[in-house]
Structure 1
Amino acid sequence: MTSKNGVLVNPVLLPAAIMFCSPALNSFVFPKGFMTPTVEDVFALLGLPPNGIMCHPNMDKWETKKYELPNVTLTDFISLQCKSDLMSFQEECSFFLYWICKYLVNVSSTTSVAQFVPIAKNLDSNVKVALAPFFLGHFYRSMFLYSTQQKNSHHGPLWFIQLWVYSYFPKLAPSPKRSQTPHTYGQMWMLGRYVLGSISKFKNYF
């Protein structure tokens, strides 16, 4: 995920939402019309930048620094790369690569994927990368595979469906607890709307 705050998975919501998914249109077909996640939704819910350089295999063509991709499992990836207190280029790229593979894209392979190395190198160089369309492309791919191929398990950022459904259909989302401390403006709004009975105002919190 892209936050330290975990999301309680709703195991029923994902297959129920996929039932409305059209593989031909890559969108959800509801009785009232068509809906589909957009780059704007990804930016609003995850905070991933919608603009910047596009992700492609040659995006680090002019990068002179070399990165050695370790052939280890994701479980041992970080522990083997952290070698000193002083952060090196190799360690920073390894962190970004681990984050992309395990939490953002959720790859099916147990090892890090080499195709994401250029993205990690650009993030390490403080280059603004358009991660929102990159993420959305992988989301559409995983949603298509989930709705067309019957497997025991599927990988990819399918967890985004739950966040997206909750944002557009708040009645399906669990009601926040009154004692819960809001971490985002969205949680403040949900807390005021569904618990306190009125929409929260900015001045009430600051």
Structure 2
Amino acid sequence: MLFPLSTLESDVLLLNRAVAPLFEFAKFKSLPRGDANWNIWIDRLKKFDGDIWRKQGLYQFIQMSTIDRTFNLDLIEGAIRLWALPCNSFILPCGPMSVTLLDVLHLTGLPLIGNEFASLVDTQELPQLPEQYWNPSSYSQVIRSWSTLKRTSPISEERISFMWVLICKYLFCPSSGKPTMEYLALARSLSVGHVHGLGVMFLGSLYHWSNVAVNDAPLSKLSGAMWFLQMWLFSYFPELKFPPGLLSERLSWRELIYFQSHFTIAGVCSFMRSLPFSRAVHCPHFLTITAEEYPWVGHMAASKKINVSSLVENVRTVILHPRFLVHDGTSPRDQSTHVFEFYNPALNPSQLGLCPTVSSSALYLPRSLNDMMKAELSQRIFTSLSLIELSDQEEYFKTPL
């Protein structure tokens, strides 16, 4: 594949297609919004579970959820017009760019190691959530019902409800606008302190919804995990934020989450299409990963009975190698197939602070999986049997190398 492609007459990019205008903001139920009662709930639970959240890699993300952010939909819509489904990347004159697992790690703090298949969570020994809580009318209903309580310590039903709201309302953001059953098993597991590869799961969801936005009724489904694109764009292109920033800035998530943009849709497209090939891609993050910055690293190393440096190398392997990302946010009524997306950091090595090389999209599957999965690869859908086989691989071999 040759770059740049943005000047070609092709329908791969929305830029070259006539599309309907974006829905109004009021219709985007899935964008994460602030809630005062949610903040009250967090303050109460933090006294009991704060240390557990740190070990799970959730503490930074929970802090992010307390901020009532402003979404610049023109910024997101303008950028998504340059998204190419075949390579899960923005096609720019300076080369392809994409959201990497390193970006997700640094901007959310979420773990990249741990069970990353929501549909394969073993629930046999997990606490139950009574059926009376299964069908809430909204996030607000769940939050209000628990945030006003004055218990001395939370019970299991409250912890499950909290995690359910956290991952649905603020992370995966399903279009239903309320907690959904496909994430309930994951919430039950998180409620007892288990560590999951939420960063990997989240990027699979982001790729999926970005592809839906450009492929299925273009721009009519700008939802799900796409809220993350705003922070990502500001981190790589500080010129888009207001007031403009210097290219050398390395901004924290606290700063990025507050920024706004005055660019129109056309302005964003024009800016991104004008990036010269000679421009070095600004790398806002580093491959430096420590247990001090990410407590879940030390916790996972201890649970696996390996030293921290070995686990850090495993995390770097996850970040640097092509692999599959399974998007498990499908209806619990259909657990027979599982959508997946390709992650190929070889297309954008400079984003990882590495020297550019010839891009490669090769995925070397373990021999036992190769024949079984051949028919599924072209459709980007795994069967449940394939997913179970995949889950038995080491965390850093989830089909990748």
Instruction: Look up the match of 2:231.
Output: 163
* Residue 42 in structure 1 maps to residue 110 in structure 2: no
Q: 1:40 touches 1:50 (CA, 8 Å); kept in 2?
A: no
d(CA) in 1 for partners of 2:232, 2:82:
14
* Residue 72 in structure 1 maps to residue 140 in structure 2: no
Q: 2:213 touches 2:220 (CA, 8 Å); kept in 1?
A: no
Percent sequence identity over matched residues? 27
Task: Give 1:35 shift.
Answer: 0.9
d(CA) in 2 for partners of 1:87, 1:12:
41
Q: 2:107 touches 2:252 (CA, 8 Å); kept in 1?
A: no
Q: Which runs of 5+ in 1 are unaligned?
A: 178-182, 189-206
Matches within 5 A, 1:57-68: 57-68=119-130
d(CA) in 2 for partners of 1:186, 1:73:
31
Matches within 5 A, 1:20-39: 20-39=82-101
Matches within 5 A, 1:73-112: 73-74=137-138, 75-81=140-146, 85=151, 86-112=153-179
Q: Select the structure of larger CA radius of gyration.
A: 2
Scaled by the length of structure 2, the TM-score of the pair is 0.42
Task: Give 1:81 shift.
Answer: 4.8
Q: 1:60 touches 1:121 (CA, 8 Å); kept in 2?
A: no
d(CA) in 2 for partners of 1:6, 1:164:
18
Q: Which runs of 5+ in 2 are unaligned?
A: 1-31, 33-60, 246-250, 257-401
Scaled by the length of structure 1, the TM-score of the pair is 0.78
**What amino acid sits opposite 1:43 in the alignment?**
L
Matches within 5 A, 1:51-200: 51-68=113-130, 69-74=133-138, 75-81=140-146, 85=151, 86-148=153-215, 149-150=217-218, 152-175=220-243, 184=252, 187=255
SS at match of 2:86: coil
Q: Which moved more, 1:35-44 or 1:105-114?
A: 105-114
Q: 2:169 touches 2:178 (CA, 8 Å); kept in 1?
A: no
Equivalenced residues, count: 183
Q: 1:108 touches 1:155 (CA, 8 Å); kept in 2?
A: yes
Instruction: Look up the match of 1:192.
Output: none
1:75-97 Cα offsets, whole Å, 9 max, x none, are 31223356661411011101110
Query: What is the aligned-residue RMSD (CA, Å)?
Result: 2.5
Task: Give 1:184 shift.
Answer: 4.6
Q: 2:156 touches 2:191 (CA, 8 Å); kept in 1?
A: yes
Q: Which moved more, 1:112-121 or 1:67-76?
A: 67-76
SS at match of 2:176: coil
Cα distance 1:11–1:64, how it changes in 2: closer, same or farther (>3 A)? closer
Cα distance 1:167–1:151, how it changes in 2: closer, same or farther (>3 A)? closer
Cα distance 1:70–1:84, how it changes in 2: closer, same or farther (>3 A)? farther
Structure 1: 4+ residue segments shifted above 3 A: 80-84, 150-154, 183-188
**What amino acid sits opposite 2:203 in the alignment?**
L
SS at match of 1:97: helix
